[in-house]
Chain A
Amino acid sequence: MSNGSANTPSVRVQGVHKSFRRGAEVIDVLNGLSLEVQRGEFIALKGPSGSGKTTLLNLIAGLDTPTEGEVWVEQDCISHMTEGQLASWRTRNIGFVFQFYNLLSVLTAYRNVELPLLLLPLSAAQRKLQVTTALDIVGLADRMDHRPGQLSGGQQQRVGVARAIVTDPALLVADEPTGALDAKSADEILDLLVELKTSMNKTIIMVTHDERAAGRADRIVELQKGQLVST
């Protein structure tokens, strides 16, 4: 669990600009965006296509760096880290849940969840404990030896969530986690995310087009043309 001063936001995005170059053209995706997310808060990022919500998510998750501005996650200013530093930082501090699960098809559920732990100085016993705990939390302890091809979409996404929480990160980012699921499976995943927020005080930032999914969040943040329009 991540504890710190009650008033210090878990995530601070300050005056962030992000541009991409496409040939000779420069495309401004984010324009001086600022956002704070409190510890243990569950926010949903909404907006039309091209509004910059995935770009914002990538900046917060340390997958990209802003053209201008700063991004702080807990005490770390990640906007000035090198690629190698970000990779190392992500292992310990971020859990990422993908829309299409993105599990490695040659690995079992157990070994998919174990992947991030291979980068940490843990013994085999410690890795086993953390993996089985994570799979327990998502309710798939009895499926740990199954490969992704042997799991349903909902089960695969739960393995994805287990992989995201196995290193006990303070922050979970989810990019359309219910986008590829039926209604029932989507509800199960959302229940899981809410449970993680409530019982483990995880900060969760979720990009979604789904109104029902957004309704489960504590706060909805709406983006348009790279700027916040409502929160």
Chain B
Amino acid sequence: MRFLILVFDNLRRNIGRTVFTALATMVMVLVVTCVFSILTFLSNVTSEKAANLKAIVTERWQIPSQMPFSYATGLAEGGGYEADHVRIKPENSMTWSFYGGATDPDPKKRSNNTILFAFALQPRSLLEMMDGLDDLKGPERTQLEADVKKLQETRNGLIVGKDRMKNLGKKVGDRMTIYSFNYKGIDLEFEILGEFPVGRYDNAAAMNIDYLISAMDAYPQNNAGKTHPMANKSLNLVWLRMPDQPTFQQVSEQIMTNPAFKSPAAVKIETASSGIGTFLEAYRDMIWGMRWLLSPAILFTLSLVISNSISISVRERRLEFAVLKVLGFRPWQILMLVLCEALVIGTLAGVISAGGTFLLVNYVFGGLKFPIAFFPVFLISPQAWWWGAAIGAGTAFVGSIWPAWSARTVKVAEVFAKLA
């Protein structure tokens, strides 16, 4: 205990240097924490699960995926034949159609404050299949259930994320007309029924698919009998939940071999992680750079900063170390004294920085707005608390081992001979 107190006393020797070293550590740990959080999240979403996995069905040969809505029912049932196949059904399903537009019909006036993109889906899917919402608990779950019930009952309803709502200048209860740009001619009036829980859907919106489908069905009546150009293209994605890999393999075969899903649009099915992985291919170099260039560079720089600070301290204190040796301190005790000083700064600064980043980013800023693919925000992982300690302690150890060894090898007679 006294040894630790001696360590803390030595850190008070030059408060300025200690504080600046700690601040530099905190800044770099903050950056690494953010980078690790993004990489961890991407790694999680792209790693194959053995159970309770989700699969995505999309159009095979085209991006964006645009399938006829008539595929929805068959795909939701696993696409199997009645005749000679044992038909395995997925546990649950969700269809996505994307409806986008703006609150102002004039294209020149489109901006972030007027645009809305909505997931058109069965409202119950929000509670049963939507990532990040299907596992909600507590008051947030209760509120979402109430909003979903309203959306089921009110076909022209919308549930909107808080940031999107703020940008549009709207609140729950307001009405607005969206002038669509991907469903031209199908401009819809909406009533905002509720708000998504704070998090990854802050900029999203969800509408009832029945509203879009009935608008599409009514289109010919007002347009000289012509069907809407998107009539056979309104289904963008189908999500299927399956209990395990064998079920996924079976359902995959059922869908891929069913001629019903070959025309007018051929489909493909892949696990969600695989699908996301494919989508992230475009960001592969950036992700590689973050993992193997940026992070190591920051860690190396941090080690150098600490090494420099501790080296200066050791050089200033050669006489003091000689005196400690005269008093009987052994070389390894001198080494431990210096190492502990570095470890205390590094670990404390690391924990404070990573923990502070976790609290600030997740609970004050609502996540890291780092636009990779379709992920609007990234949350800092709870593992950040021990990342901070590990990064701070690890870089402190690496950075201070050489100056600590130098302190250990101070020759008493030489130090006092130089003084004489």
Footprint of B on A, CB under 8 Å?
Answer: 54-55, 58, 61, 63-64, 83-84, 87-88, 90-92, 96, 98, 100, 102, 104-107, 111, 114-116, 118-119, 163, 175
Contacts and interface: CB of A to CB of B under 8 A. Distances in A.
Given A105-B13, A106-B13, A58 B413 contact: yes
B327 interface: yes
Interface residues of B, number: 25
A201 B6 CA distance: 33
A118 B326 contact: no
Given A54-B417, A63-B412, A104-B320, A116 B327 contact: yes
The list of the 9 closest CB pairs from A to B, nearest first, reads A91-B328, A64-B413, A102-B323, A106-B9, A87-B330, A63-B412, A116-B327, A90-B328, A119-B328
A132 to B, nearest CB: 16
A163 B327 contact: yes
A29 to B, nearest CB: 10
Q: Interface on chain A toward B: helix, strand, loop, or mixed SS? A: helix
Interface of B: 2-3, 6, 9-10, 12-13, 319-320, 323-331, 333, 412-413, 416-417, 419-420
Report whether over half of chain B's contact residues are helix, strand or loop; otherwise say mixed. helix
Contact of A119 (B9, B323, B329, B413): B329
B420 A54 contact: yes
B325 A87 contact: yes
A96 B13 contact: no
B327 A115 contact: yes
Contact of B330 (A61, A63, A88, A106): A88
A90 to B, nearest CB: 5
Contacts of A116: 327-328
Given A64-B413, A119-B329, 16 more contacts: A55-B413, A58-B416, A63-B413, A84-B331, A88-B328, A90-B328, A91-B328, A92-B328, A96-B326, A98-B323, A102-B319, A106-B12, A111-B9, A115-B327, A118-B6, A163-B327
Contacts of A64: 412-413
A91 B320 CA distance: 16
A54 B416 CA distance: 9
A72 to B, nearest CB: 19
A160 to B, nearest CB: 10
Given A102-B319, A106-B9, A91 B412 contact: no
Contact of B9 (A58, A92, A107): A107
Given A54-B417, A63-B413, A118-B3, A90 B327 contact: yes
A87 B328 contact: yes
Contacts of B333: 119
Nearest to A49: B420
Nearest to B322: A102
Nearest to B10: A106
A83 B413 CA distance: 12
A95 B327 CA distance: 8
A172 to B, nearest CB: 13
- The residue in B10, B333, B416 that gathers the most chain A C-beta atoms within 10 A of its C-beta is B416
Contacts of B412: 58, 63-64
A63 B13 CA distance: 27
A10 to B, nearest CB: 19
B399 to A, nearest CB: 22
A100 B323 CA distance: 11
A163 B328 CA distance: 12
Given A54-B417, A64-B412, A105-B13, A118 B325 contact: no
A61 B331 contact: no
A159 to B, nearest CB: 13
22 contacts: A58-B412, A58-B416, A63-B325, A63-B413, A64-B413, A84-B331, A87-B328, A87-B331, A90-B326, A96-B326, A98-B323, A104-B9, A104-B323, A106-B9, A114-B2, A115-B327, A116-B327, A116-B328, A118-B2, A119-B327, A119-B328, A175-B416
A91 B2 CA distance: 17
Given A54-B416, A58-B413, A63 B326 contact: yes
A51 B156 CA distance: 102
A88 B326 CA distance: 10
Contacts of B331: 83-84, 87
A225 B284 CA distance: 75
A114 B420 CA distance: 27
